[in-house]
């Protein structure tokens, strides 16, 4: 008989529902404790899932009492560094919500702590685990549009979350744009070397600050990413994945962030026309090897890694490259100039 892994979950708010469901789906894990500064949230999650974990408000105390093999961190970004540090110090593998930290120093520190403790520290960058993004990645990797020269993303939505986001500084860049930046980095296959950005709060915004932003990044190999976004943009919403245009030396891809992907290749080298003919490209099918499934996909890969499987692609030492884009953009917006990005 195999023995289930023992895990403590911390941060029992809205997102923890999805986590607990996915953890149950993967199986092989007992949630032996739930920590939240608001114990009513922890109790509610336990009741919903019909489980009977220890409920507490003090993570280090619970960790020393229960010595779990795994900590699932779904709390707010402001307490992430404390939670992940405590979990690693207690010898647990950690799967953490995004963003992986609030500053690059904190992120570097967590990567170093995970290495020193020889524990896994993985981040839920769930939007990388989207089937359509995997298909786009395959198309780019096939060389069908030549070399990627630009990724341009528009993100316009109007969510009324309530809670921590409405007071959080840099809310759009830090809490949301990290997904789009990470996905762009994945498609370009390179590291951003500099950032230029501006944040503002549009009239009528229900956020305290920073609900809108634009950002541009130069990548080491010469590609550029541009982003325009707002969380206070009522009407004509884009998808949560943004609306994308990827430009290459020989063609382009557009993606509505949902199911519509279109790509075309230019025949410039044969036609000599002002606007050369283009030919539509077929979008590759998903390969069985493609890792998909959003939260469930990342949680599956994390748990597999704790059981001896391969290192997940959203491990902290990789994910810091996406966080560095966010923090570079925030620095640029604060300083009012382009900044270099150093990981
Ligand atoms: N990956 C995604 O697509 C996605 C989507 C939504 C939220 N998130 C992330 O999930 C995290 C949680 O977001 P949410 O929407 O569930 O927020 P939420 O406000 O609904 O829940 C946060 C919970 O953390 C608890 N908490 C606060 N401080 C704590 C502490 N010191 N120790 C333990 N618990 C503490 C709060 O009491 C609350 O129950 C955030 O980092 C957010 O960015 C990710």
Q: Are residues 58 and 134 in the same domain?
A: no
Predicted TM-score of the model (pTM)? 0.94
Q: Are residues 208 and 333 in the same domain?
A: yes
The reply to whether ligand 1 has any atom less than 6 angstroms from the CB of 126 is: yes
Q: Which atom of ligand 1 is nearest to the CA of 35?
A: 33
Please give the helix or strand (H or E) that residue 182 lies within, else none.
Answer: helix 178-188
The reply to whether ligand 1 has any atom less than 6 angstroms from the CB of 11 is: yes
Q: Is the pLDDT of residue 272 over 80?
A: no
Report whether 303 contacts 28 (CB < 8 A). yes
Tell me, yes or no, whether 317 lies in a domain.
no
What is the token pair recorded at 293?
A: 């499934």
Q: Which atom of ligand 1 is nearest to the CA of 12?
A: 39
Distance 95 CA to ligand 1 centre (A): 13
Could you tell me the CATH number of the domain that includes residue 169?
A: 3.30.360.10
Binned at pLDDT 50, 70 and 90, residue 268 comes out as: confident
Q: Which of 8, 15, 79 to mutate to test the pocket of ligand 1 (most atoms within 8 A of CB)?
A: 15
Q: Which of 164, 224, 150 is nearest to 193 (CA)?
A: 224
Residue-range definition of the domain harbouring residue 117 = 5-123
Q: Are residues 211 and 193 in the same domain?
A: yes
| pLDDT recorded at residue 230 | 98
Could you tell me the CATH number of the domain that includes residue 29?
A: 3.40.50.720
Q: Are residues 148 and 39 in the same domain?
A: no
Final residue of a domain: which of 79, 97, 123? 123
Residues of the chain above pLDDT 70, percent? 100
The mean per-residue pLDDT over the stretch 152-175 comes to 95
Q: Which of 43, 60, 75 to mutate to test the pocket of ligand 1 (most atoms within 8 A of CB)?
A: 75
Binned at pLDDT 50, 70 and 90, residue 267 comes out as: confident
How do 29-35 and 5-10 pair as beta strands? parallel
pLDDT digits (tens, 9 = 90+) for 213-243: 999 999 999 999 999 999 999 999 999 999 9
Q: Is the pLDDT of residue 1 over 90?
A: no
Residue listed under structure tokens 């779990």: 68
């Amino acid at each position: 008989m195999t023995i289930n892994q023992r895990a403590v979950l911390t941060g029992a708010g809205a997102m923890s529902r999805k986590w607990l469901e996915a953890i149950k789906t993967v199986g092989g894990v007992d949630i032996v404790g739930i920590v939240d500064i608001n114990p009513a949230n922890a109790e509610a999650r336990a009741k919903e899932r019909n489980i009977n974990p220890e409920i507490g408000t003090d993570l280090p105390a619970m960790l020393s009492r229960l010595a779990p093999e795994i900590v699932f961190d779904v709390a707010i970004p402001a307490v992430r560094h404390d939670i992940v540090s405590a979990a690693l110090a207690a010898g647990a593998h950690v799967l953490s919500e995004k963003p992986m930290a609030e500053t690059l120093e904190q992120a570097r520190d967590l990567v170093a702590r995970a290495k020193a403790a020889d524990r896994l520290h993985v981040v839920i960058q769930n939007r990388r685990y989207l089937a359509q993004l995997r298909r786009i990645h395959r198309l780019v990797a096939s060389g069908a549009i030549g070399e990627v020269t630009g990724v341009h993303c528009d993100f316009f939505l109007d969510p009324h979350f309530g809670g921590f986001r409405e007071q959080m500084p840099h809310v759009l860049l830090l809490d949301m744009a990290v997904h789009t930046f990470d996905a762009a980095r994945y498609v370009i296959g390179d590291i951003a070397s500099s950032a230029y950005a501006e944040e503002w709060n549009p009239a009528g915004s229900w956020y305290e600050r920073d609900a809108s932003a634009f950002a541009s990044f130069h990548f080491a190999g010469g590609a550029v990413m541009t982003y325009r976004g707002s969380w206070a943009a009522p009407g004509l919403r884009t998808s949560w994945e943004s609306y994308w245009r990827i430009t290459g030396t020989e063609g382009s891809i557009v993606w509505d962030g949902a199911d519509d992907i279109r790509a075309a290749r230019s025949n410039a080298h044969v036609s000599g026309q002002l606007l050369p003919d283009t030919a539509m490209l077929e979008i590759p099918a998903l390969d069985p090897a493609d890792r998909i499934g959003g939260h469930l996909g990342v949680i599956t890969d994390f748990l597999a890694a704790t059981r001896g499987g391969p290192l997940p692609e959203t491990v902290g030492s990789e994910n810091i490259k996406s966080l560095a884009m966010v923090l570079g953009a925030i620095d640029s917006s604060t300083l009012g100039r382009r900044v270099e990005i150093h990981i």
